[in-house]
Structure 1
């Protein structure tokens, strides 16, 4: 436990009421309240983000005095499991099934997989993220 949260000796310049440290149950209650509040806010943020992203994808725009909404697109490679299995077989599929693309690429680099066939399997997936852009900068 962090001793700085509940000092044994009160600070001399604090009033008597402020010198009493909360007990562990009070600290835990505050922690639980903050966690629940944050989780609720994060859920609301995700819901609002989905609505805003859909509107921006439909051509609308949104901004406040401080921010302008923008969409950031990023791409990543994925290998479809069914096609990967057809090309490389069950053993190779099982070996990389729970591993990301880096594992498959490492196997190709080591010569365990045909690098050309792996490259042909690759699909680019686009991810769209909501970004707040500072206005006036």
Structure 2
């Protein structure tokens, strides 16, 4: 058999051992991801309150992205059931395409738009 990875990897014909190792790695990664997410939430809250966070290697910043959404109830009131049904299972691109095609009033659609901000924690290397 070919080398499947690290020296401690089991032979491929020992499927229960491979499954056990896989489960261990999956559980470890899930635990690490949960811890990372909790730490990121704490750091984001600190940054939003005006604090700075940095180490010798990294500086933490928040990257803000915006997402436009149209509340379904308001969209339905403005454009009716048929238009709401047509765009309800798709994203804003479908509604904007209908407006561009002339099927919806672009100005009314723009008035309905709700912009949501999402902050993502970004580590910027300080060594460059």
Q: TM-score, normalised by structure 1?
A: 0.81
* Partner secondary structure for residue 65 of structure 1: coil
Q: Which residue of 2 aligns with 1:57?
A: 48
Q: Unmatched 5+ residue regions in structure 1?
A: 1-6, 11-16
Indicate whether 1:21 and 2:26 are aligned: no
Q: Unmatched 5+ residue regions in structure 2?
A: none
**Runs of 4+, deviation exceeding 6 Å:** none
Measure the CA separation in 1 of the matches of 2:118 and 2:11: 47
The alpha carbon displacement at 1:78 in A equals 0.9
The alpha carbon displacement at 1:64 in A equals 1.4
Instruction: Decide which of 29, 38, 41 is 1:47's aligned counterpart.
Output: 38
* Partner secondary structure for residue 50 of structure 2: coil
Measure the CA separation in 2 of the matches of 1:95 and 1:34: 43
What is the count of residue pairs matched by the alignment? Answer: 123
Greater Rg over alpha carbons, structure: 1
Measure the CA separation in 2 of the matches of 1:135 and 1:93: 48
